[in-house]
Structure 1
Amino acid sequence: MRSITPTAASDESSARDTTRQRRHSLFVALERGGLLLVLVALGVIFTVREPAFLNVANLFSILQAVSIVALLGIGVTVTLAAGGFDLSVGSVAASAQMAASYVLVVWHGNGWEAVLACLALGVAAGLFNGLLITRLHVPDQLATLGTLFLLAGLQLIPTGGRSLASGTILPDGTEASGTFPDAFLALGRARLLDVVPVPVIVLLVLTALVSFVMGSTRWGRVVYAIGGNETAARLAGAPTARYRLAAYVASATIASLGGLLIAARVGRGDVSAGHSLLLDAVAAALVGYAVWGAKRPNVPGTVIGAVFVGVLLNGLTMLNAPYYLQDFIKGALLVVALAFTFSIGRRAEGRN
């Protein structure tokens, strides 16, 4: 019968601990980088199948395409951090681009007036949402869902349900004769150094700004505290109603900026512009939970989530995948990536 000396037993125990620690480190690394690994893998697959995917022009085209969704996702992220959920961002963006078009084409205003009209609409929508939630105590999802339908219908009334451009016949029989100034259109179409689109620059600046505010200021810390436990934050002395109101104003204002960029890019008020924005923005914000193991609303994760969706759709389009399969493939890959990331994270926690 073999006897085990204390030294040998200690060595075996130490080896098991080392193996366990290495396995835990691997799980943690997979949890944090799982979604990024999937994103890189998609890039490699699409490049092998279609080398033009990796062209600089195509990469910036992807970023330009996702910039609006990412902006709206940032707004949703701010409200999620405050324990809410803004479902009205798509309608706010759509209404903002219609408002800008109306100012330019019907009222013959200039670009600055159109910009101010967009931002004013965003602030008003955010205040409306915030007051419904903080003063009338309507649940967040119901309040913002009501605003979604309200704005979706309101934007159609001035034009009788038509898209708005120069030459559009209005419900009163008059013709819209104004035009979109070149300076305004440059907000959506110009490129810095003929390479980087202006919407991408706006997204980068706003991402850096909101990330700093949410991660390094008292305002951001209080917002996360409210989202974690509103009652505890209130008992600690935080004016929770004021912070939640500010979160919804910020979300709607960012969404109106997205609508402004849409109007500047397409050069008209498109009544169908906001139909898919909400779902894509919410998807980006929720995917952000899985980026780098954050497991909470975070702005960089939201932007990466939007890029993930943009890369996937662009690659499928370049590979001539049927349009009716794209949403299914997008959903399937998102589910697999998120399930993998969160299941790995749970195993890492269980082995810790």
Structure 2
Amino acid sequence: MTTIDQTAVPGEETAPERSRAALKTAGALLRSGAVFILLGAMLVGFTLAEPAFFNIGNLMSILQAVSVVAILGAGVTVTLAVGGFDLSIGAVAASSVMAASYAMIVWQLDAFATVPLVLAFGAAIGLINALLIVRLRVPDLLATLAMMFLLSGLQLIPTAGRSISAGVALPDGSKAEGAYDPAFLLIGRYNLYSTLPVSVVLMVVVALILYVLTERTRIGRLLFATGGNEVATRLAGASPARLKTLAYLISGTLASLGGVVIAARVGRGDVSSGGSLLMDSVAAALIGFAVLNLRRPNVLGTIVGAVFVGVLLNGLTMLNAPYYTQDFVKGAVLVGALALTYGLGRN
């Protein structure tokens, strides 16, 4: 009886091998697009539950709400790229709100003097962080934590702990006579073409600039190389110290830009502003690790992470979910994103 030789031809895949390869490819594609799939599912689910969710006004409201978190998260992403971490961004943003308010209401400066002044303030904080970390070799978490406490106390001193608004009483007994410049308020309240908030435009511009810088330039490659192997960065002819300084300079400046947007939106220097900005921006940056399954800091992922959380919280709010569940939901989303990235993402 003649038998058929079923031995596989050398170099040719068998059917089981092809099936495993197909499943592996499908799994990789699923992991790469998992965040986008979940985002789409949320949009559909919230729209079916509450039709008013999916309209241009509400969607723009979501983007406006997450714009500051996305801007700060982009700064966190750059520091993560160099192997660092900036815990001071929330305090820098809150201090920038107070600084902008103080400049206009107490010093009576206009918007064109206030905005550069506040951005310079954020850049200076970034440089101080870099000095502590790069020159004095203080661990980044300790340096930026100390700066966070320093700024949290410093912002209260000029007004003796009071919020800043027109007519606020100053420690010397006088009253502030200035007011917010209407041109400054446009940053947080004006809509281009009646629908597109200026803060959303700023978010997109920041995202595009940092995306090009980190993903399409030599500097970007060196930033990631610094976070991975400083010796390799030196061999490439670059200075890890300068790259880390650049990262913290960017982070501080973007944090102050976020503070400018908040101040322009609320129209006062609120001492409680920025309370949740640190955790929200860090969550956006870490969720970004799961976007496209990159498993590394990336600006695109950070923006998507901020929008993801914003859509989730907005939908829950429209469905009248209790406000005290929001932090739990954000934590659950973060845990899920990291599990997806580092657990299911293993080969």
- TM-score for the superposition, normalised by structure 1: 0.95
Would the aligned equivalents of 1:47 and 1:53 in 2 still touch at CA under 8 Å? Answer: yes
1:167-206 paired onto structure 2 within 5 Å: 167-206=167-206
Find the counterpart in structure 1 of residue 210 from structure 2.
Answer: 210
| Percent of aligned pairs with the same amino acid | 57
Structure 1: distance between partners of 2:244 and 2:15: 51
1:14-29 paired onto structure 2 within 5 Å: 14-29=14-29
Is 1:225 aligned to residue 215 of structure 2? no
Structure 2: distance between partners of 1:114 and 1:123: 14
Find the counterpart in structure 1 of residue 121 from structure 2.
Answer: 121
Q: CA deviation at 1:6?
A: 3.1
1:129-140 paired onto structure 2 within 5 Å: 129-140=129-140
Would the aligned equivalents of 1:35 and 1:341 in 2 still touch at CA under 8 Å? Answer: no
Would the aligned equivalents of 1:111 and 1:183 in 2 still touch at CA under 8 Å? Answer: yes
Deviation string, structure 1 residues 233-270 (Cα, Å, up to 9, x no partner): 12433111011111100110011001011111100111
Going from structure 1 to structure 2, the CA distance change for 1:271 and 1:2 (only over 3 Å counts) comes to farther
Structure 1: distance between partners of 2:297 and 2:95: 26
Structure 1: distance between partners of 2:181 and 2:233: 48
Would the aligned equivalents of 1:34 and 1:337 in 2 still touch at CA under 8 Å? Answer: no
Q: CA deviation at 1:4?
A: 5.0
- TM-score for the superposition, normalised by structure 2: 0.96
1:1-352 paired onto structure 2 within 5 Å: 3-6=3-6, 14-346=14-346, 349=347
- Report the residue type matching 2:49 in the other structure: R
Deviation string, structure 1 residues 11-37 (Cα, Å, up to 9, x no partner): 995211210111011110111011111
Q: CA deviation at 1:277?
A: 0.2
Structure 1: distance between partners of 2:340 and 2:2: 44
SS at match of 1:165: coil
Range with bigger deviation, 88-97 or 324-333: 324-333
Structure 2: distance between partners of 1:94 and 1:82: 25
Would the aligned equivalents of 1:27 and 1:344 in 2 still touch at CA under 8 Å? Answer: no
Structure 1: distance between partners of 2:223 and 2:334: 28
Deviation string, structure 1 residues 283-323 (Cα, Å, up to 9, x no partner): 11111111001111000000000001101110110000011
- Report the residue type matching 1:182 in the other structure: P
Q: CA deviation at 1:181?
A: 1.4
Structure 2: distance between partners of 1:50 and 1:136: 54
Q: CA deviation at 1:2?
A: 10
Q: CA deviation at 1:119?
A: 0.7
Going from structure 1 to structure 2, the CA distance change for 1:9 and 1:322 (only over 3 Å counts) comes to same
Structure 2: distance between partners of 1:61 and 1:212: 27
Going from structure 1 to structure 2, the CA distance change for 1:7 and 1:181 (only over 3 Å counts) comes to same
- Runs of 5+ consecutive residues of structure 2 not aligned to the other structure: none
Structure 1: distance between partners of 2:12 and 2:319: 53
SS at match of 2:14: helix
Q: CA RMSD in A?
A: 1.7
Q: CA deviation at 1:46?
A: 0.7
Q: CA deviation at 1:345?
A: 1.6
Going from structure 1 to structure 2, the CA distance change for 1:19 and 1:113 (only over 3 Å counts) comes to same
Deviation string, structure 1 residues 115-144 (Cα, Å, up to 9, x no partner): 022111111101100000111000011111
Range with bigger deviation, 7-16 or 62-71: 7-16
Structure 2: distance between partners of 1:340 and 1:245: 32
- Report the residue type matching 1:217 in the other structure: T
Deviation string, structure 1 residues 159-200 (Cα, Å, up to 9, x no partner): 111110001111111111211111110011000001000000
Would the aligned equivalents of 2:286 and 2:334 in 1 still touch at CA under 8 Å? Answer: no
SS at match of 1:303: helix
The total of aligned residue pairs comes to 347
Would the aligned equivalents of 1:98 and 1:269 in 2 still touch at CA under 8 Å? Answer: yes
SS at match of 1:6: coil
Structure 2: distance between partners of 1:310 and 1:174: 42
Deviation string, structure 1 residues 217-241 (Cα, Å, up to 9, x no partner): 1111111110111122124331110
Structure 1: distance between partners of 2:8 and 2:219: 56
Structure 2: distance between partners of 1:40 and 1:226: 35
Deviation string, structure 1 residues 36-93 (Cα, Å, up to 9, x no partner): 1111111111111111110100000000000000000000000100111011110111
Would the aligned equivalents of 2:214 and 2:220 in 1 still touch at CA under 8 Å? Answer: yes
SS at match of 1:344: coil
Structure 1: distance between partners of 2:194 and 2:13: 62
